[in-house]
Amino acid sequence: MFSLKSKSAVITGGGSGIGKAISLLFAQQGAHVHIIEVNNEAGASTVNEIKAAGGSALSHTCDVSKQQYVVALFNSIGVIDILINNAGIAHIGNVETTGQDDFEQVMNVNVKGAYNCLFAAVPLMKQKHGGVILNTASIAASVGLADRFAYSTSKGAIHAMTLSVARDYLNDNIRCNSISPARIHTPFVDGFIAKNYPGREDEIFEKLSKSQPIGRMGKPSEVAALALYLCSDEAGFVTGCDYPIDGGFITLNN
């Protein structure tokens, strides 16, 4: 079950965190993985890890907010069976403390970046009469998180995009779903804590972990396992859905 043998998977932001975990698992399951990263070293590192384990992967350096480069890259890849729209950035601030430049930067990467990849990938999927798209949303699309105005706005857009694409391409055999993680323990989280709470790293990590009803942060590998199911043939009857993976955050955190 859950074999991706002979399938081509494009994963944005595949050089670290959740994207890296998805890349490693998909390669393990037989996919030829194309990692799209703005950080060339991170992408290359994941590819080396995949190849060392006997998998197949390539890394492509690209800024997903630049449509002409995204389209050219996707056309050079050619056959795309799976698209994982995972690249994204975060921002701390409410509407009063979120400046125009910060807001536009989050929208350019999180929303326009996903749109650009959809714009490039869907025609290629239509040519081969099918494909699977998985967008990384967030619990921030469903609940109010303090000081996450721009980020929450962007992830709400990702959720709406998912529903729109799923509806529009039913007859083209293209499935589109999203996943909504809560806090996942990635290098980004460690870096965020170190930057914003120097000297209080252990305290803040514990506080953030316990904000999940299950009592801990999620693991990137756990998100990757859900992504694998949703992109596999076993999920052929699933489209237009968002899947929280949140340790009970949305429904139990009250």
Question: What residues act catalytically?
Answer: 151
Cα 160 to chain centroid, rounded: 15
> How far is the C-alpha of 14 from the C-alpha of 84, rounded, in Å?
9
Alpha helices in the chain (DSSP H): 17-28, 40-52, 67-77, 100-106, 113-127, 149-168, 187-196, 201-210, 220-231, 249-252
Those residues whose C-beta lies under 8 Å from the C-beta of residue 80, and which sit 6 or more positions away, are 8, 9, 10, 74, 121, 124, 125, 131
For residue 131, which phi and psi values (nearest 5 degrees)?
170, 175
If residue 172 lies in a helix (H) or strand (E), which one and from where to where? none
- Closest Cα partner for 132 from 10, 29, 225? 10
> How far is the C-alpha of 169 from the C-alpha of 126, rounded, in Å?
9
What angle separates helix 67-77 from helix 113-127, to the nearest 10 degrees?
30
Please, are residues 70 and 121 in contact by the beta-carbon 8 Å criterion? no
DSSP 233: G
